[in-house]
A and B are shown apart, each in its own frame.
Chain A
Amino acid sequence: MADIAAHQASHSSFRSWLSRVGQGRHLLGLLFLLPAAVFLLLFLTYPLGLGVWLGFTDTRIGREGVFIGLENYQSLFDDSVFLLSVFNTILYTVGASILKFALGLWLALLLNQNLPFKSFFRAIVLLPWVVPTVLSAIAFWWIFDAQFSVISWALIKLGLIDHNINFLGDTTNARASVIAANVWRGIPFVAISLLAGLQTIPQSLHEAATLDGATGWQRFRYITLPMLSPIIAVVMTFSVLFTFTDFQLIYVLTRGGPLNATHLMATLSFQRAIPGGQLGEGAAIAVAMIPFLLSAILFSYFGLQRRKWQQGGGD
């Protein structure tokens, strides 16, 4: 009897605890947040913190490191390969982003017209985005092959050149080639996002501008572009972040060669840390990317995104 009573008592106290939790909004809220918080801490905050910490140590694979302060960073500043990789990354990001923006916007404007088979074309445009990066990189590897390149073959057959182009063996060609591959892969994201933005611009604004005497170019310049600018800011920020941290394309196509001409900070970081075993130095290179990424975000946040006319009513 006493046993049952005790059991009932504990049962009811558990239930009253449950109901207290259920009624306390804050407690319940925290409870629901917990799984997400655990995931974030475990898979984002911990690795990031570990990476930053490793950058201050001389850890190698298989050997605990000791704290060495800024030594890794000091040596990186004198490291011509690292400096070249910074230059490459900036060139790659700026070049690819400008091309992706220009071509993506152009494609979005085309797809926004009343074309026949409109939805078919819109679906096709997404393909490069859907194909796994490594697959498309391997395809580009063949396209850029020194002997079997389809581009060289076609140009030779057309009689425009008389020998194969050395796409990935020459430093300038290799840089242009990887940028081209990245642009091809990145255009769908820009184009589809900007297309979505274009469709939020009311048709009547274009009609009003037409009646106000605007030519096609003036409508683009004074209506489309300013109204698209918030979306352009967001899309291009993301695009810059993706491009700046690109790894897969380069790793498959060139592994950073020739003569480190296509080594990006991400690939160099990997190469130093894993095959090279210098975890501390690799982490330092990765951490060195953070200021660039932060400044890109801040630039878009303060420079482009906030417009007075977008803010709600009131004076």
Chain B
Amino acid sequence: MATVDIRAVTKAYGSTPVIHGVDIDIHDGEFVVLVGPSGCGKSTLLRMIAGLENISGGEIRIGNRVVNEVPPKERDIAMVFQNYALYPHMTVGANMGFSLKLRKAPKAEIDARVNRAAGILGLSHLLDRFPRQLSGGQRQRVAMGRAIVRDPQVFLFDEPLSNLDAKLRVQMRTEIKELHQRLKTTTVYVTHDQIEAMTMADKIVVMHDGVVEQIGAPLDLYDQPANQFVAGFIGSPSMNFIKGKVQVNGTAAFVTPSGAKFPLDRVPEGAVGKDAIYGLRPEHVRIDPQGVPVEIVVVEPTGSEILAIVRVGEQEIACLFRERLSLAPGETIHISPQPGMTHLFDAVSGQRL
């Protein structure tokens, strides 16, 4: 177990920079998820921690040791790959014990550690099989077993669940989280799926175009997104962004070009009269007879909730209702945001106001 410190790390392929000065502190035993859309540099950053990619600038420390020039095998890390990267010509047991065999560990010790890991993951009856003969979920577990057997300082996961079907993904998510609670090994986990990030992480790092947009606990990111990108990325369905201006006419309100008035929780300094973006999560919209009149465009019931797309002026707003409302397209309803659940962003910079 160890801390991982990433200091001003940059990465460039030739003259093309892909990571622009990233700083992340990862505490001992923490489960950190790097999340972001494709091409944001999260996998590259993980591979730099692993030592599979050179570090163009800055410093990565694992347990207070600068590892920039340390070869991968001496970093004492274990990685689970997206495609599992199991050795197809070795049995499950040999796959898991391969690193120990290379270290010339005694046979008895290899067997003991492989059996222990297989026990944890429920693979004991599969040790003599070849990867080809396993299901996707079993292969995933073998890949984790290979990491566990080594008892490394840090686990690295590179989109480990993206090759699994939706149901299995939820199940493995729970298993990985349980595993972390049991082993308490520092973990860095890369995914593009914000649900995975929210459910598993102690700390989420949201990346976008090679920069860190925000670092924080899952609920902090949900409640206090630092900018419009994080606000739109975290949460499903994603946050509504409504264009308009902050106006103070008696009471402060956010006014859209069509004249609809949304209440503000607070009026940020210097925001009055300027163009801004009003952020409102679909689940924070409620029916309110005194609210803003909107026209229903589409209704999508899912059983547990109803997603309604409504129109105010030219802008569409997604609303998520827990109640079984009878809504029909073309109808007009009145909505208002739950107090304390609105966000305001600068229209130009996208930063939180």
A binds B: yes
Cβ contact within 8 Å between A205 and B87: yes
Contact partner, A227, options B50, B89, B103, B133, Cβ 8 Å: B89
Nearest B residue (CB) for A314: B133
Of A41-49, A79-87, A131-139, A211-219, the one contacting chain B is A211-219
Contact partner, B103, options A202, A213, A312, Cβ 8 Å: A213
Count, chain B residues at interface, CB 8 A: 26
- Tell me the minimal C-beta distance from B90 to chain A in angstroms: 8
Binary per-residue interface labels of chain A (183-224) against chain B in the complex, 1 for a CB within 8 Å, 0 otherwise = 000000000000000000010110111111110001000110
Cβ contact within 8 Å between B78 and A211: yes
Binary per-residue interface labels of chain B (139-155) against chain A in the complex, 1 for a CB within 8 Å, 0 otherwise = 00000001000100000
Contacts of B82 in A (CB 8 A): 204
Give the CA-CA distance A218 to B130 in the complex, in Å.
21
Is B132 an interface residue when CB atoms closer than 8 A count as contact?
yes
Give the CA-CA distance A212 to B77 in the complex, in Å.
9
Is A226 an interface residue when CB atoms closer than 8 A count as contact?
yes
Contact partner, A204, options B77, B78, B83, Cβ 8 Å: B83
Cβ contact within 8 Å between A309 and B72: no
Is A315 an interface residue when CB atoms closer than 8 A count as contact?
yes
Interface residues of B in 118-170 (CB under 8 A from A): 130-133, 146, 150
Is A24 an interface residue when CB atoms closer than 8 A count as contact?
no
Contacts of B321 in A (CB 8 A): none
Binary per-residue interface labels of chain B (8-46) against chain A in the complex, 1 for a CB within 8 Å, 0 otherwise = 000000000000000000000000000000000000000
Cβ contact within 8 Å between B73 and A210: yes
Is A26 an interface residue when CB atoms closer than 8 A count as contact?
no
Cβ contact within 8 Å between A205 and B132: no
Known: A202-B83, A222-B98, A227-B89. A211 touches B73 (CB 8 A): yes
Give the CA-CA distance A222 to B88 in the complex, in Å.
11
Give the CA-CA distance A258 to B203 in the complex, in Å.
80
Contacts of A113 in B (CB 8 A): none
Cβ contact within 8 Å between A207 and B85: yes
Is B52 an interface residue when CB atoms closer than 8 A count as contact?
yes
Interface residues of A in 270-315 (CB under 8 A from B): 307-315
Binary per-residue interface labels of chain B (73-110) against chain A in the complex, 1 for a CB within 8 Å, 0 otherwise = 10001110111010111100000001100110000000
Known: A312-B132, A315-B133. A213 touches B85 (CB 8 A): no
Contact partner, A207, options B81, B133, B146, Cβ 8 Å: B81
Cβ contact within 8 Å between A210 and B83: no
Cβ contact within 8 Å between A213 and B88: no
Contacts of B99 in A (CB 8 A): 211-213
Give the CA-CA distance A227 to B90 in the complex, in Å.
10
Contact partner, A208, options B51, B85, B130, B133, Cβ 8 Å: B85
Give the CA-CA distance A211 to B81 in the complex, in Å.
11
Contacts of A207 in B (CB 8 A): 50, 52, 79, 81, 85
Contacts of B131 in A (CB 8 A): 309
Cβ contact within 8 Å between A309 and B73: no
Contact partner, B81, options A208, A214, A310, Cβ 8 Å: A208
Contacts of B146 in A (CB 8 A): 208, 212
Give the CA-CA distance A313 to B134 in the complex, in Å.
7
Task: Give the top 9 A-B pairs by smallest Cβ distance, nearest first.
Answer: A212-B99, A204-B85, A208-B85, A213-B73, A309-B130, A226-B89, A213-B102, A309-B89, A204-B81
A-B contact pairs, 25 of them (CB 8 A): A202-B83, A204-B83, A207-B50, A207-B52, A207-B85, A208-B87, A208-B146, A209-B87, A210-B72, A210-B73, A211-B50, A211-B51, A211-B52, A211-B72, A212-B102, A212-B150, A213-B73, A213-B102, A213-B103, A214-B73, A226-B89, A308-B130, A309-B130, A309-B132, A311-B132
Interface residues of A (CB under 8 A from B): 202, 204-205, 207-214, 218, 222-223, 226-227, 307-315
